[in-house]
Structure 1
Amino acid sequence: MTADAGRGDADRSDAEAGGGLGSRELAAAAAIALAVVLATAAFPMLVDARAAYEIPVERQAGAGDLAEPTGDAWESVETVSVPLSSSGAAVPGGSDATVDSAGVAAARTDERLYLRLSWDDGTANTSTDSLRAFADAAAVQLPVSTEKQPPIAMGSADDRVNVWYWNGADGTESLLAGGAGSTTRLPESAVEATATHTGDRWAVVFSRSLASDRANVTDVDDGEDVNAAFAVWEGSNDERSGQKAASEWYYLSLGPDDGGAPYETVLWAIAGAAVVFTTLVTVEGVRRTRGE
C-alpha cells in the first residue's frame, strides 16, 4: 500500500468514525449549493426580462370615458414608455424616423379592449392635400393567432398579423398582413379610434370588442396574454409606409392576476435552503480542518 492510499483510507476512516463528510462529499455538496444559489439568482433576471416587455391591462367596471384620449378614466391606468426605433436602411429614408418613444396604456371592460398611444409631436399633420404633405399616424400590431409571435415586420405568410391603423387625414382602418408589402384592408372594421393633439403631444385611443367572430381577426381572450407592437409616423418628417418608428414585441397582460407568480415563493424557499446547506457545509469543513 502506498502512502497516498494510506492517507485516503485514514480520511475515510475519520469521516466514518466522526459521522462527518469526506473531502469529496464536501466538494460535491459545496458545488451543488453554489449551483442552486446561482440558478436562484439568475432565474428572476430572466423573468424580469419578460416583465420589462409587459403592458399592464387595467380592468374597469365600465367604459366611462376610456374612448377619449384625455378621459379621466385613464388617470388610474399605468402608462409604459415603449422605445421606438427607425425601420432601418432597407427602407428609403428608414433610418431617419424622429419619434423615439411612445407611451402605451391599456384598459379593458368585460366586453372591450382599449389601447392608448401618446407621443411627442410639435406639429399636428392632418392633411395630405399637397404633393409633399404626409399625415401623422399610429398603429398597433397583433398576431392573428395569439399562440404565436410572428416576425415583427408585418408577420409572415404562415403567421399573419392584424394592424389597427390611425391616420390623421384618413381616419381608422383594420388591416391584415402576411409579410412586408402584403397589407390588405379588412372591410367593416370593428376597430374604433379617437385622437387628440394637445400642446406638443398626440394621444390616440384604439378600441375593439374582445371577441371576434371573423376569420383572420385576432380573437382577444381575457384569460391569455396577447403580443402587441406599436408604430408611429411623423408626417412633418415625410414619414409614410415603411418609413416609421416602431417597437419590438410587447405583451398585453390580459391573463388572470393571481397575486404574483408562484415561482417567487419557490425560489425564495430554494434560496433559503441553499444558504442553510452552504452554511452547514462550511461548518463541517472548519470542524474537520481543526480535527474535531
Structure 2
Amino acid sequence: RGNITSGKRLADDLEARIWPRNLTHPETWRVTRDAQDVFQRLSTGIPGTPMPEHTTTMDITDRWAIANYVMTLRDTATPLSEGESVVRAVRVDGDLPTAPDDPAWDTAPAMTFKMAPNIIREPRLFTALNEFVTVRALYNDSDVALRVDVDDRTYSVPGDPLEIAYALDDVTATRDAVAVQFPAELPTGREKPYFRQGDSRNPVNMWYWAAPSVAPELPATTEIWDATGTDKTPSVRSDSSALTANGAWKDGQWQVVFRRALTTDAPEDLQFADGVYTPIAFANWDGLNGEEGLRQSFTSWYWILLEPVDNPARTWGITAIAAALAGVIFLLISWRAKRRFRPRKD
C-alpha cells in the first residue's frame, strides 16, 4: 500500500517529496499493466525518481520473480466498485463485531469507492494521498455496524515516532480521521442532501472518528456531528454516546468500526430499517497532510441496504393467499359467465 516504516524519505531529482505506489490498487499504476511492464521498470529504473536500474544488482531470474510477485498484490484488495453503488449489510445472529480484525467481517461483502480531494471550496485541497475507501456492513435485531477501511501510507498520530519520521516540511500534522455521512431523514423523492455536509434544507448526520495523539496527549475521538452545509461548521452533539467506534492502523491501512442502534430516541437521527435503500457517503482527513475541516477527501452519495432475511413461511403464506384469491376470482367470473349465457327455455 505504499507504506514504509524505515524512516527513509523519498524525493525525485527536483527534491520534490514522492511516495511509493500502492501496489494493491492497479488503478493507480502508471503505464504498467502486466508482469513484463513491471520487469522492465525493475530492469531500467524510472528516470528522475529514486527508482534505480537493477540489471547490475539483480539477475534476470530474481527480477522476473519480483515482477510476478508484484502482480499477485493486485488481488489482495477489493477492486474499485465500478458501476456498483450499494453497500449490502448482512443480518447476523448474536452480537456484532467491535474489533476491525474480527473474522465476522469476512461474511460481509466489501465495496470500494474512489475519494476525491476538496477542490470545490476554500480551504481547498489539491494534494491528497488517500484515494480509496472500502466499507463492509453487518446488522442484527438492534444495531448496525460498519467497518470503514482507508489506505493511508502514514500513521499520522501527532508526536508518534512514525509521524515525526515522515512529517512534511512546513506542515503541522493533524490527526487521521474518518467519517460516515447519512441524511438526517430518509429522502421521500429524488433529491438528496448536498453530498458535502448537507444543506440548510436537508441536514445530515456524520459519524466521526479521529485517531489519538501523543503530543498533545489525546485519546481517540468518537463524535456525532449534525451538519447543514459547508458554510457552517458541523455541530458536535453534546452527547455522542449512542455511537461507538474503534480504529486500528496496520500495514498502511486504517480500519475503523462504527456501531449504533438501528433506532434511537434522538429526533435528529436517521432511523434504520431493513429493506430500505439509504444514502451513505464517506470522508477522510490525512493528518500527515495537515487536513482538517473542509480540507478533506470525500465520496459522492452511494447507498446502504440492510438486506432483509428470507422468511419462507411468510413467502409461501403470501403465495398461498394470492393463489386462493385468484381461484375465488376465477370461480366468480365463471359463475357470472354461466348465468349470463345460460340458454333460455321456450
How does 1:205-224 map onto structure 2 within 5 Å? 205-224=257-276
**4+ runs of 1 displaced by more than 6 Å?**
128-131
Partner of 2:25: none
Report the more deviating stretch, 122-131 or 159-168: 122-131
Question: CA offset at residue 89 of structure 1?
Answer: 4.6
Could you tell me which of 173, 176, 179 is aligned with 2:226? 176
1:53-92 deviations in Å (ceiling 9; x for gaps): 100111111225x111111111111110111111115233
Q: Which amino acid aligns with 1:244?
A: Q
Q: Which amino acid aligns with 2:289?
A: N
Instruction: Specify every segment of 5 or more residues in structure 1 that has no aligned partner in the other structure, as ranges.
Output: 1-48, 260-292
Partner of 1:30: none
1:188-232 deviations in Å (ceiling 9; x for gaps): 211110001112111000110000111211111224221110011
Partner of 2:308: 256
Is 1:236 aligned with 2:288?
A: yes
Is 1:53 aligned with 2:85?
A: yes
Q: Which amino acid aligns with 1:188?
A: D
State the SS of the aligned residue for 1:156.
Answer: coil
Partner of 1:185: 236
Partner of 2:320: none
State the SS of the aligned residue for 2:248.
Answer: strand
Could you tell me which of 173, 178, 186 is aligned with 1:133? 173
Relative to 1, partners in 2 of residues 1:147 and 1:92: Cα closer, same or farther, differing over 3 Å? Answer: closer
Question: CA offset at residue 126 of structure 1?
Answer: 2.2
State the SS of the aligned residue for 1:57.
Answer: strand
Question: Matches of 2:260 and 2:86 in 1, distance apart?
Answer: 20
Q: Which amino acid aligns with 2:136?
A: A
Q: Which amino acid aligns with 1:105?
A: R
Q: Which amino acid aligns with 1:253?
A: L
Partner of 1:78: 109
CA contact (8 A) 2:146 2:258 kept: yes
Question: CA offset at residue 133 of structure 1?
Answer: 2.1
State the SS of the aligned residue for 2:245.
Answer: strand
Larger proportion of helix = 1
Relative to 1, partners in 2 of residues 1:210 and 1:175: Cα closer, same or farther, differing over 3 Å? Answer: same
State the SS of the aligned residue for 1:154.
Answer: coil
Question: CA offset at residue 98 of structure 1?
Answer: 1.6
- Rg bigger for which structure? 1
Partner of 1:161: 204
Question: CA offset at residue 258 of structure 1?
Answer: 6.5
Tell me the matched-pair count. 210
User: TM-score if structure 2 supplies the norm length?
Assistant: 0.57
Identity of aligned residues (%): 28
Q: Please, what is the CA RMSD of the aligned residues?
A: 2.4
Question: Matches of 1:60 and 1:50 in 2, distance apart?
Answer: 27
Relative to 1, partners in 2 of residues 1:227 and 1:128: Cα closer, same or farther, differing over 3 Å? Answer: farther
